[in-house]
Amino acid sequence: MLLDFLQQRNSAPRLDSPAPDAVALQQMIRAATRVPDHAWLRPWRFISVEGDRRKDLGKVFEAALLKREPEAAENVRERARNAPLRAPLILVVVTRISEHPKVPSVEQRKSAACAAYAILLAAEAQGFAGVWRTGDNAYDPDVMAALGLNEDEEIAAFIYLGTRDGRSKAIPELSPEDFHSRW
């Protein structure tokens, strides 16, 4: 049931092959492009990184780390280098900010966050799994430039995607009343 699906959704920190194929990915992007979007600005785009390109992204992450922290220890460098290898596919969700008299940039960022969530939902709906990651790399100008982002673009998410490796974790029981009030 759709409600169960929404209420049980959870991220998969450990991911293996197979990744969503081209058709599955297209479905995910179709879902992401139906998120709420004030004035239909389409403030998002998506970049796939897979196969050996993940190693290239790892080199970008390591170089960015060394620029931020020239003294970074080898194990920290190695972790940065290998980060993109944690999943067979990484989808970078890019926020495209444009000037609009009624739509401030914060609303465009919110729409991109919805798009990232839609990617996760649509992956899970097709039997795949994923996890939304950011970290320093998401805000690093060198990483953004290496990925080909323009001046008016930001990284909203690195969505790591694949097939869940292991069992899903226990989902915390949260009570709706704890998050709801009446005014």
Residues binding ligand FMN (CB under 6 A) = 10-11, 131-135
Residue 109, annotated as binding a ligand: no
- How far is Cα 8 from Cα 1, in angstroms, rounded to an integer? 11
Is 183 part of any known ligand binding site? Answer: no
Q: Can you give 112-134 as a three-state secondary structure string?
A: HHHHHHHHHHHHHHCCCEEEEEC
Helix (H) or strand (E) holding 7: helix 2-8
Which one, 25 or 120, has the nearer CB to ligand FMN?
Answer: 120
Q: Which is nearer to ligand FMN, 20 or 130 (CB)?
A: 130
164 is in an annotated binding site: no
Min. distance of Cβ 92 from ligand FMN in angstroms? Answer: 13
The distance of closest approach from Cβ of residue 131 to ligand FMN in the complex, given in angstroms and rounded to an integer, is 5
Q: Measured from the CB atom, is 39 or 169 closer to ligand FMN? A: 169
Residue 60: strand, helix, or coil = helix
Q: For the CB of residue 125, give the shortest distance to ligand FMN in the complex, in Å.
A: 15
CB 123 within 8 A of CB 28: yes
Using CA atoms, how far apart are residues 89 and 137, in angstroms rounded to an integer? 17
Q: Does 175 count as an annotated binding residue?
A: no
Would you say 75 is a known binding-site residue? no
d(CA 97, CA 76): 33
Nearer to ligand FMN, 135 or 166 (CB): 135
Q: How far is the CB of 182 from ligand FMN (least distance, A)?
A: 27
Binding site for FMN, residues?
Answer: 9-11, 34, 38, 132-134
Binding site, residues?
Answer: 9-11, 34, 38, 132-134
